[in-house]
Chains A and B, each alone.
Chain A
Amino acid sequence: MAKIDLVKLRKTFGAYVAVEGLDLKINDGEFLIMLGPSGCGKTTTLNMIAGLEAASAGDILFDNVNVTDLPPHERNVAMVFQSSLLYPHISVRRNIETSLRHTTISDADRKRRIAEAAKMLEIEPFMDKLPGQLSGGQRQRVATAKAIVREPSVFLLDEPLSALDAALRLSLRSELVNLQKRLGTTTVFVTHDQVEAMTMGDRIAVMNSGRLEQIGTPDEIYNSPSTVFVAGFLGSPPMNLLEGDLAGGFFRRGGLAVPIQGPGGKVTLGVRPQDVTVTEATAPGALPVTVYAVEHLGRESVLIADDDRGNKVRALVAPGWHARVGEKLGIMPDPARCLLFDTNGARIYETVARAA
């Protein structure tokens, strides 16, 4: 168990900057998710925490001890890789044993740890099989067992669920969280899947093009995104982002007028699909849209519509709701639930929603 501090961490590959000025504190026992699109630097950061890649600048501290220049095996980390990498030609048991190969643990202790891990992850029936004879889910469990037998101070997981089918991913998600909470080991989990991030993490660090966009609890990230990138990246269906002008107590964009007070100028208004109401096309202040599609999700439906500038706007509607494609409608955001972002994508906090 350890707390991890990343201080001004930077990684470049030639002229390409993979990670830039990353400051991140990971608390002891925390399940931290690093979320971002591919190429955002999250795996590079994980590799640097593991010691597989050397930082170009900055420091990595485990419990206030600088480990920046230590090789992976001196950091006491365990890592689970994408598609649950195992040594393909040796049995599950020997794969797990390899984790303890170069340790000073006694034989009895070694046997006990392996037995415990096998029991915990329910892999006892296939301890003597080869990785190739296992299903994806079983391999995933074995890779996890291999990681926990070392009783590491940090777990590092690099998209471990991405190669699995949806149903399995769902069950392994809760399994991993449950395991992490029982063991209480500090965990860094890299993913590009926002649902995984929202459901698994104590906190989420959202990264974009080598920089940390925001770090916070899933609730903070979802309800109070600090940048337009975070706002658009999390949530399904995604948040509506509308560019327009703020002036005279109104956000305006074509026919749309939302009563919000704030500093004037060009802004982006963000509003989640559940926070808008669908109105008549002629309703005053509503955004005039043309129905593009209606997706039925069972518990609710999503209206997807084009506004007059060709942007897709989404709205959650009741499950029985119907509209013809091409029908003209209006969309009215709830002013109290609207977020504003400036032209640099940063959140404008000093806004007051007024009654219409």
Chain B
Amino acid sequence: MAVGSAGQAIQASTPSRKPRREMSDTRFAFLIGLPVLVFLMLVVAYPLGYAIYMSLHQIVFFGGYRANFVGLKNFIDVWSDKSFINAIWITLRFTVESVVLTMILGLCLASIMNQRIRMAGLVRTLLFLPWCVSSYAAGLMFGQLVRGQTGILTTISFTFGGTQGVDLMGRATVVEVLAVANAWLMAPLVAFFLLANMKTIPKRLYDLAAIDRLTAWETFRYVTLPPLQFTLFVFASITTVLSMKMFDMILIMTGGGPGTASATLTYQIYKRSFKDLNLGYGAAMSFYLLFFILGATFLIYLVWGRRVSR
């Protein structure tokens, strides 16, 4: 009965309906991507265009808003700005330290989670938690942990009869403190991706290494590390980008200080644009930051990514 009626329905509908051509994959992809494209146009293209406009103008608020076209003047002027050069170095130092620390910490965490340990689920959850903390909160926490008045080292120093507080937020080490806090935030995610890779390594390969008398380091190099290369490369790139544009944690923890010791490019851009209200100048700086980020990731791809991406 059901079959019969279905057959009739098909017969009845076939002559009236034209055979419809199937949509090509490209068209379909474009169609479902359209809302996102429109969204991106609004939230990316417009601000980007406006930033380009600003970077080519001198924007004056006082005595009536004016935007005077100055051409590439902003782009040239920054190079004679000592704080800009200083910011480049600080950004570089912060980024390199962050990436190296994040990778090492990620590898360590993944190795721990890859062991057969009791309460592995709980350990995994605990290790993943830092990633869920906002960088604002992490900034506050690390600030408390290392500041002279409240820090751990001060406590230890006093416990052992010291009379001096130890302040890691000083000029010499403030960038390192920021990098450690940054790595603390990023490493859990890296660790979980590395762990997924580690789980695919055949256990017998470790037996082979044992028979080949490989040392622990060699076993790590020959057995554990190779399948992790691609993930490490991807996350080194991601961490590079995120570190170079890290702003909120720096603002909370150090406010660019002491002096300009932790004034990264992002902080300088913020200061120029919103404190000094020199929007055009700040916009030009932010384009340099964009170029540096693109350059850095491209460099990582050239020296590393080409070798490991299949």
- Chain A residues positioned under 8 Å from B223 (CB to CB): 87
Stretch at the interface among A78-86, A222-230, A277-285: A78-86
Residue A180, interface by CB 8 Å:
no
A98 pairs with B204, CB closer than 8 A: no
**Quick one: which of B202, B204, B205, B211 contacts A73, CB cutoff 8 A?**
B211
Give chain A interface residues in 59-102, CB to chain B under 8 Å: 71-73, 77-79, 81-82, 85-90, 98-99, 101-102
Pick the contact of A71: B202, B210, B212 (CB < 8 A). Answer: B210
Q: A81–B203 Cα gap in the complex (Å)? A: 11
Q: List 24 A-B contacts (CB under 8 A).
A: A47-B207, A50-B207, A52-B210, A52-B211, A71-B210, A72-B207, A72-B210, A72-B213, A73-B210, A73-B212, A78-B211, A81-B204, A81-B208, A85-B204, A85-B205, A87-B208, A87-B223, A87-B226, A89-B222, A90-B222, A98-B222, A99-B212, A101-B214, A102-B215
Contacts of A86 in B (CB 8 A): 208
The closest CB in chain B to the CB of A81 belongs to: B204
Instruction: Please state if A98 and B210 are interface contacts (CB–CB under 8 Å).
Output: no
Number of interface residues of B (CB under 8 A): 16
Identify the A interface with B (CB < 8 A).
Answer: 47, 50-52, 71-73, 77-79, 81-82, 85-90, 98-99, 101-103
Nearest chain B CB to A23's CB is how many angstroms away? 25
Additional 15 contacts, C-beta under 8 A, given A79-B208, A85-B204, A102-B213 = A50-B207, A50-B211, A72-B211, A73-B210, A73-B212, A81-B208, A86-B208, A87-B205, A87-B208, A89-B226, A98-B214, A101-B212, A101-B214, A101-B218, A103-B213
Which residues in B have their C-beta under 8 angstroms from that of A99? 212
Contact in complex: B207, A98 (CB < 8 Å): no
- A98 engages B205 (CB within 8 Å): no
| CA of A98 to CA of B223, assembled, Å | 12
* Chain A hits for B222, CB < 8 A: 87, 89-90, 98
Query: Which residue, of A51, A71, A82, A88, has the highest number of chain B Cβ atoms within 10 A?
Result: A88
Write the residues of chain B forming the contact surface with A, with a CB cutoff of 8 angstroms. 202, 204-205, 207-208, 210-215, 218, 222-223, 226-227
A187 to chain B, nearest CB (A): 15
Q: B218 — which chain A residues lie within 8 A by C-beta?
A: 101
Q: Which of B212, B218, B226 has the most CB of A within 10 A?
A: B212
3 nearest CB pairs, A to B: A73-B213, A89-B226, A102-B213
Q: How many angstroms between the C-alpha atoms of A51 and B207 in the bound complex? A: 10
Q: How far is the CA of A159 from the CA of B296 in the complex (A)?
A: 49
Residues in chain A near residue B211, CB distance under 8 A: 50, 52, 72-73, 77-79
CA distance A71 to B209 in the complex (A): 12
* Nearest B residue (CB) for A86: B208
User: Looking across the interface, which residue of chain B has its beta carbon closest to that of A97?
Assistant: B212
Q: Which residue of A lies closest to B212 (CB)?
A: A98
The CA of A102 and the CA of B222, in the complex, are separated in Å by: 14
Shortest distance between the CB of B58 and any CB in chain A (Å): 55
Q: Distance in Å from the Cβ of B256 to the closest Cβ of chain A? A: 44
Contact residue among B207, B214, B226, B227 (Cβ-Cβ distance under 8 Å from A81) = B207
Min Cβ gap B230→A in Å is 11
Return the chain B residue nearest A51 by Cβ: B210
Q: Check if B214 sits within 8 Å of A82, measured CB to CB.
A: no
Complex alpha-carbon distance, A79 and B208, angstroms = 7
- Contact present for A101 and B207 (CB under 8 Å): no
A85 and B213: CB pair below 8 A?
no
**Are B226 and A88 neighbours in the complex by a CB distance under 8 Å?**
yes
Q: Decide if A85 touches B210 in the complex (CB within 8 Å).
A: no
- Least CB separation from B222: chain A residue: A87
CA distance A52 to B213 in the complex (A): 12
Output the least CB separation between B263 and chain A (Å). Answer: 42
Q: Which residues of B contact A90 (CB under 8 A)?
A: 222
Which residues in A have their C-beta under 8 angstroms from that of B205? Answer: 85, 87
**CB-based contact A85/B214 at 8 Å:** no
Cα A85 to Cα B205 in complex, Å, equals 7
Across-interface contacts of A89 in B (CB, < 8 A): 222, 226
Cα of A52 to Cα of B206 in the assembled complex, Å: 10
Most B C-beta atoms less than 10 A away, residue of A47, A52, A90, A103: A52
Contact B207 A79 (CB under 8 A): yes
Q: Which residues of chain B come closer than 8 Å to A47, judged between CB atoms? A: 207
- Residue in A closest to B308 when the chains form the complex, CB atoms: A89
| Candidate in B211, B212, B226 with the most chain A CB atoms within 10 angstroms | B211
Q: Which residues of A contact B213 (CB under 8 A)?
A: 72-73, 101-103
B108 nearest CB across to chain A (Å): 22
Closest CB in chain A relative to B247 CB, distance in Å: 39
* A98 contacts across to B, CB distance below 8 A: 212, 214, 222
Give the docked Cα–Cα distance between A89 and B224 (Å): 11
- Nearest CB of B to A329, in Å: 47
Residues of A within 8 A of B202 (CB): 85
Distance in Å: Cβ of B257 to nearest Cβ of chain A: 46
CA distance A89 to B201 in the complex (A): 13
CA distance A223 to B9 in the complex (A): 70
Q: State in angstroms the CA–CA spacing of A47 and B208 once bound together.
A: 11
A52–B205 Cα gap in the complex (Å)? 12
How far is A326 from B236 in the complex, measured between Cα atoms in Å?
71
Bound together, the chains give a CA A101 to CA B217 distance in angstroms of 14
Q: Which residues of B contact A52 (CB under 8 A)?
A: 207, 210-211
Q: Which residues of A contact B227 (CB under 8 A)?
A: 88
